[in-house]
Amino acid sequence: MNYKLIVFALCTFALVGKSQGQIVDKKNLIEKNAQLEKIETGFAFTEGPAVSRLGDVYFTDQPNDKIIKWSFFTGKTEVFMENAGRSNGMFFDKEGNLIACADLDNQLWSIDDKGNKTVLIESYKGKKLNGPNDLFITPSGDMYITDPLYKRDYWTRDPESQQDGEHLYFLSANRLQFMPVDENLVRPNGIVGTPDGKNLYVSDPGANKIYKYDIIEDGYLSNREIYLERGSDGMTIDFRGNIYVTGEDGVKIYNKKSEEIGHIPIPEKWTANVTFAGPDRKTLFITASESVYKIRMKVYGTY
């Protein structure tokens, strides 16, 4: 997400506004008596939470060009990587590498546990991408990457699009096939898939929609349908198939029928992203503006 535009648009948004209020839990998803806890604050803009095998969360402080690690066991944060390519969305692959949407040079990186990076994608048809924003990795290792155009003041290149639109891309598990799989999006952003690898959800804030797809053979998508008439920054999913969406109203939860069944207000101007953390994947970890939060759940997620 374009953090500067968000701050600009919401600079007058009072913290007593939409992001305040009582937690709503219509389907008993949240642990009894659980409270929203602020883990740490003082960041510039937090994004891209990705959960490791052990349940720790790696997230970005994009304006400060850092990836931060939060330890589930100690509850503390530490800098994992500086000069992190202005990384935004991230996801761990099956080998334990952190895959990052490195917005500085419009690339997709693979980062090992020592912080060494490998560039996986740097262009399409000889031209730079707009700026990879978020990604999802299927159980088979295939990737889906959103590529909106949010013009950055730190780019040294022409900030206009070099692609013919803002698309959703597919990268095969063997890294040999990279192609757009939906070229009819306005500004794709958040993305998440079902743990069985059969369905994909993609947020298009430019169209104020979240779409649902069937994932079919060779990474292609079919049966696109509108899941929600709203956009979202980041998203996650629990084992029941409920979708957790983010934005200026904190975290809202929708079931498979697109019915709103929960709301976790966050006392920040913008809630950017969310994931399930901990060894049991029952801690909801939330990145929101200058802070990160957590709350214990009854349901668990896979990521």
The pLDDT value given to residue 19: 42
Mean pLDDT within 109-124: 96
Instruction: Give the Cα separation of 222 and 2 in Å (integer).
Output: 29
Would residue 196 be called left, alpha or beta, if left means φ above 0 and alpha means ψ between -120 and 50 degrees? alpha
Instruction: Give tens-digit pLDDT for 21-61.
Output: 899 999 999 999 999 999 999 999 999 999 999 999 999 99
Mean pLDDT within 151-176: 89
236 forms beta bridges with 244
Domain boundaries, the chain: 3-296
Instruction: Give tens-digit pLDDT for 118-136.
Output: 999 999 999 999 999 999 9
The pLDDT value given to residue 187: 97
- The owner of tokens 């209020």 is 21
CATH number given to 3-296:
2.120.10.30
Highest mean pLDDT: which of 3-12, 155-164, 235-244?
235-244
Secondary structure, 3-state, the chain? CCHHHHHHHCCCCCCCCCCCCCCEECCCCECCCCCCEEEEECCCCEEEEEECCCCCEEEEEHHHCEEEEECCCCCCEEEEEECCCCEEEEEECCCCCEEEEECCCCEEEEECCCCCEEEEECCECCECCCCCCEEEECCCCCEEEEECCCCCCCCCCCCCCCCCCCEEEEECCCCCCEEEEECCCCCCCCEEECCCCCEEEEEECCCCEEEEEEECHHHCEEEEEEEECCCCCCEEEECCCCEEEEECCEEEEECCCCCEEEEECCCCCCCCEEEEECCCCCEEEEEECCEEEEEEECCCECC
* Per-residue pLDDT band at 270 (split at 50, 70, 90): very high
Q: What is the pTM of this model?
A: 0.92
Mean of the per-residue pLDDT values for the chain?
92
Instruction: Give the Cα separation of 260 and 202 in Å (integer).
Output: 18
Share of the chain above pLDDT 70, in %: 93
